[in-house]
Structure 1
Amino acid sequence: MRQRVVRVALTAALVAVVLLAVPLALAIRSSLYAAQRDTLERTALAAAVRVSPDYATGDPVELPKAPAGGHLGLYDPQRRLRAGSGPRTADAPVRGALVGEVVRAPSGGDLVAAVPVSHAERVIGVVRASSPADAVRDRILAVWAVLLGVTVVALAVAVVVARRQARVLAAPLEDLSRHCRAVADGDLNARAAVGSIAEIDQVARTHNAMLQSLSELLRRERDFTANASHQLRTPLTGLRLILETGLAQGDARPALREALDATQRLDQTVDELLRLARADGMPRPRLPDRSVPGLLREIEERWHGLFAHDGRRLEFVGGLEAGDVRVPGGPVGEILGILLDNARVHGHGTVRLTVRDLEDALAFDVADEGRLAGHPAHLFERGRSAGGGSGIGLALARDLATRLGGRLSATLTDPTTFTLLVPTGDLQDEDPGRSGTAR
């Protein structure tokens, strides 16, 4: 691009210079020739004034000094040179002036001006002034050389300015090209720089905005995939245990009913993950649709078997006194499920789920008998885990809590305790068309 800009600018400058320089050069040539002829004519006129009508009878004629390198002479009507210098016999310009007109014409390589000398309405002679045409030609060539030098300097300046402008124009486009190559190589964090050219800057800003939207979309898709993989692993394990137990007992109908309930919970989990993936990042509290005792019973039914299978206990403390308080069962259940699964996999001993009424909020404490390793602030960073896990569960739980309008934090490190705060004020559903019936 830089070379094309330089070529275009140089071509435009060359055309402009040619259109200006060629007519100027011709005008200079014509002007110098005309000026020299005017000078010769003035010299001849000045000499003609000094010619006495008695010169033919021998009265001496005093002519001015001849032009540099030229001649100045007086010719009588018989075309003979009577004074000064010049051809011995009259040439064509002198013969033309004998009829009473001033003649300016080239002759024998000279520029000639012939002025008639009149007396009593009769031409008594002709003054001829001449100078070499080569002298004028040399001056013309000298001026043309200066003009050519100025033209070359102008073109050189045009090239310098064009190269600078080419850099200014090409730099943001080259940066945008490098940025696009980086994006094509997988660097979605690359952003095009904004410069000083409004049109290119608009392209860069639009491209950056498009890339930001695309990156956010890809991030949500990756997060949804990771969240789904993380959240479905434990329910699928529980579903397998239910089916294995049913097969071992011989009567599969109770196991099938329990498996159906587990499948419904899987559907609810996927639904919550889809809601989170489609969220725009703003907290939109869900309509409370589940009583706290009912939610705790569902959690106990879901997790008691898994903890018992591992030889551990799951205890519930409080919650019955909050029987008239309702919470969004889907997201709260998912968050508590993540905390319980985290305690089952990474914790030790008995796990306790405690419900505390804080008037305008409910606090759900999930504690085990282990000790939390690492800084609590790092536990909720996606991809980081202090206990050898995937680093997805707690990050997902915090996202769900934020989407719910609540807050999730690690309140104690020894014993490990996580607290979920759920507001119990007036909550509005993210979809006004949805009813508050339990799923």
Structure 2
Amino acid sequence: MRRRLINSTLAVVLVVIAVFGISLVIVESRTIESSARESVQSDAVQLVGVVENRIAAGEKVSARALARQIDHDRYAVITVPGQAPIHLGTRPAGQVISATRTGAHGESAMVLESRTVVSQQIGRTLLVILAVALLAIAAAVVLAVQQARRLAAPLIDLAGTAERLGSGDPRPRHRRYGVPELDRVADVLDSSAERIAKMLTAERRLAADASHQLRTPLTALSMRLEEIIATDDHDTVEEEATIALSQVERLTDVVERLLTNSRDARSGSAVAFDLDEVIKQQLEEWRPAYRGEGRGISRSGTRGLRAVGTPGAVAQVLATLIENSLMHGAGSVVIHTRVTGNQAVAEVTDEGQGVPPDLGSRVFERTVSGRNSTGLGLAVARDLAEADGGRLELLQQRPPVFALFLAREGLQGRENGPDAPKGGPGEDRPPVR
């Protein structure tokens, strides 16, 4: 491409020089020749005038008196009646330019100039024109090379950017070249890079979320299957199998929700549901795991709450909080439900050391973990809560209190259980241990 740009530029310059250079040579040659003829005629007229003045004054007309009237490279013959011809200069050989003038007293002057002098002037002019043409060609070469580099280098760079995108590196370069058309191509490539980066990020996020969200239902399902294998009681097998089937349904719901969120993170499918049923389901699923660790899990607070959200997503959020308490907490775990304003709140707390002070404000960020875990659980749980218009917050770091806020369908609730607080529905909180 560079060679083509240089060749095309030089071709244009050479055509321009040829057209205007030849025309200039012709015009200058004719001008020089015409100027030489006029100059010879002017000398002849001047000589006649001088001779005529001297005759009129009665002075002698001599070669010495007229020597200064013509150039040294010219030859003149002055004829005066009754006097021998006067010769000035050396007669030129070859072709000449001549001019003859006659005065009032019969005197005449003939001036000759060699055409060689004119040819030399024309030659010097041609050399000047040729030098200018060569300078123009040299300048054109320099400009053509610079222009070729200016156009070819961005194209090579854009090709490298496109190759990088094709090889899986979607980082935009945000590089511009000062050429509108090339800058437009760079804009398109950068926009494509940003879109590819977003798609890759979404795919990686989907894979990470899927691996984390599917782990909890699969763990619960494996525990049920172990219970089935360990017992010979037909009734127990049937009960555990029924629970396992419900967990398979939950697993299917998690997969569908993951796919939905991958297309639109805000595409919630919120409905009114019984919060007690979701909490009861979680207690049944996690009680064997806590029993195996010698720990307990229970619930307290307001009963009969109906919240607005996606039951599967709420169950997943609570399962994440319960699993975190099992892995990182200590002592008994309590799921406490209460009412605040027009929201139903489910709080999960345990008797452990809680969240380290340096992680309190960052605990919901992805990849942030203080216990060598993936750091995805709470981030995914918060996304699930926000997808249906709720929110997940850390109310207290030690002992830890995580609260899931959901919109409430009704405002009536009833207290149940020996641990139920005696305050109003908007004020009850679990005791801080």
| Category of TM-score, reference length = shorter chain | 0.7 to 0.9
Distance in 2 of aligned mates of 1:111 and 1:306: 125
Distance in 2 of aligned mates of 1:25 and 1:259: 103
1:351 aligns with 2:355: no
Q: 1:148 to 1:222 in 2, by over 3 A?
A: same
The structure 2 residue matched to 1:400, chosen from 380, 384, 388, is 384
Conserved in 1, the CA contact under 8 Å of 2:275 and 2:304? Answer: no
Who is 1:102 aligned against? none
Conserved in 1, the CA contact under 8 Å of 2:308 and 2:409? Answer: no
Q: Deviations over 1:400-427 (max 9, x none)?
A: 222222222222221122222223379x
Q: 1:136 to 1:184 in 2, by over 3 A?
A: same
Q: Deviations over 1:223-281 (max 9, x none)?
A: 111111111122222222222222332334433322211110100111121122111x5
Distance in 2 of aligned mates of 1:163 and 1:416: 70
Counterparts of residues 231-270 of structure 1 (less than 5 Å): 231-250=213-232, 251=234, 252-270=237-255
Distance in 2 of aligned mates of 1:87 and 1:68: 9
Q: Deviations over 1:17-63 (max 9, x none)?
A: 343333223322221122112222333344466788xx9xxx98778
Q: Deviations over 1:52-98 (max 9, x none)?
A: 8xx9xxx987786334312112589xxxx94325899xxxxxxxxxx
Who is 1:20 aligned against? 20
Conserved in 2, the CA contact under 8 Å of 1:75 and 1:83? Answer: yes
Matching residue's letter, 2:243: E
SS of residue in 2 equivalent to 1:317: strand
SS of residue in 2 equivalent to 1:38: helix
Unaligned runs of 5+ in 2: 411-433
Q: 1:325 to 1:390 in 2, by over 3 A?
A: closer
SS of residue in 2 equivalent to 1:375: helix
Q: 1:83 to 1:159 in 2, by over 3 A?
A: same
SS of residue in 2 equivalent to 1:318: strand
Who is 1:376 aligned against? 360
Who is 1:100 aligned against? none
Conserved in 2, the CA contact under 8 Å of 1:70 and 1:129? Answer: yes
Who is 1:276 aligned against? 261
1:318 aligns with 2:321: no
Who is 2:290 aligned against? 307
Who is 1:225 aligned against? 207
1:112 aligns with 2:97: yes
Conserved in 1, the CA contact under 8 Å of 2:307 and 2:407? Answer: no
Who is 1:140 aligned against? 122
Q: 1:157 to 1:42 in 2, by over 3 A?
A: same
Distance in 1 of aligned mates of 2:393 and 2:2: 57
Who is 1:341 aligned against? 323
Q: 1:134 to 1:212 in 2, by over 3 A?
A: same
Who is 1:205 aligned against? 187
Q: Deviations over 1:150-195 (max 9, x none)?
A: 3444445445555555565456545545544554565433333245
Identity of aligned residues (%): 27
Who is 2:405 aligned against? 421
SS of residue in 1 equivalent to 2:271: coil
Distance in 2 of aligned mates of 1:410 and 1:10: 73
Matching residue's letter, 1:420: L
Conserved in 1, the CA contact under 8 Å of 2:221 and 2:247? Answer: yes
Instruction: State the shift of 1:116 in Å.
Output: 6.8
State the superposition RMSD in angstroms: 3.5
Matching residue's letter, 1:377: S
Q: Structure 1 length as normaliser, TM-score?
A: 0.77
Q: Deviations over 1:101-160 (max 9, x none)?
A: xxxxxx84343224375999xxx9975322233333333333333334434444454455
The structure 1 residue matched to 2:273, chosen from 273, 278, 290, is 290
Q: Deviations over 1:361-395 (max 9, x none)?
A: 22221222222234123322222311110111111
1:29 aligns with 2:29: yes
The structure 2 residue matched to 1:388, chosen from 365, 372, 375, is 372
Q: Structure 2 length as normaliser, TM-score?
A: 0.78
Who is 1:189 aligned against? 171
Distance in 2 of aligned mates of 1:232 and 1:119: 128
Q: 1:143 to 1:188 in 2, by over 3 A?
A: same
SS of residue in 2 equivalent to 1:383: coil
Q: For this pair of structures, how many residues does the alignment match?
A: 393
Distance in 2 of aligned mates of 1:195 and 1:265: 55
Conserved in 2, the CA contact under 8 Å of 1:355 and 1:364? Answer: yes
Matching residue's letter, 2:381: A
Who is 1:83 aligned against? 86
Distance in 1 of aligned mates of 2:302 and 2:162: 56
